Amino acid sequence: MKDILVRGDIIRLLDRFYDRLFSDDIIGHFFTDVMDLSRKEHMPIMYNFWDSILLGAANYHGNPMEKHIRLSDRSPMHKEHFERWLLLWTQSVDELFKGSKAEEAKKRAADIAMLMEFKVQNHSA
């Protein structure tokens, strides 16, 4: 099993991860009902986000915290949702990759989940 080395690896990981997200009984509704997310439009944004984080590309511009706060205002997001997101991410990484970047991907996702949960739970509506 190889490590995450190029953008194509990011794309493969995220495609697998979003397959899990969209079909998940616990958090899938955020993607299919609450946001009515178009994968065709959303995935390039996510590819850029993770490409920036893991491979240093400077191609993501956005405010993911604000978007998730607005989403939680529409359908409250709780600790168990962030834990599930992280579990699905970790499963996706472990299924496809092994190495220092794969470990970094899991660590970064854990940090993001923790920060996102804190911000969502502690914002003023």
Taking only the tens of pLDDT, the chain with its 125 residues reads: 999 999 999 999 999 999 999 999 999 988 787 776 677 888 999 999 999 999 998 887 777 767 656 766 666 778 999 999 999 999 999 999 999 999 999 999 999 999 888 888 887 55
Tracing tokens 């493969």 back to the chain, one arrives at: 12
Q: Other CB atoms closer than 10 Å to residue 74's CB: what's the count? A: 10
7-121 maps to which CATH number? 1.10.490.10
**CA dist 88 → 54, 75, 122 (Å):** 18, 20, 24
Question: Which residue has tokens 């899991």?
Answer: 106
Question: What is the reported pLDDT for 44?
Answer: 93
Strand, coil or helix: 113: helix
**pLDDT for the residue numbered 41:** 84
Q: Which tokens belong to 95? A: 């299924």
| Residue 120: predicted pLDDT | 80
DSSP code for 32: I
Give the single-character DSSP code of 89: H
Task: List the chain domain ranges.
Answer: 7-121
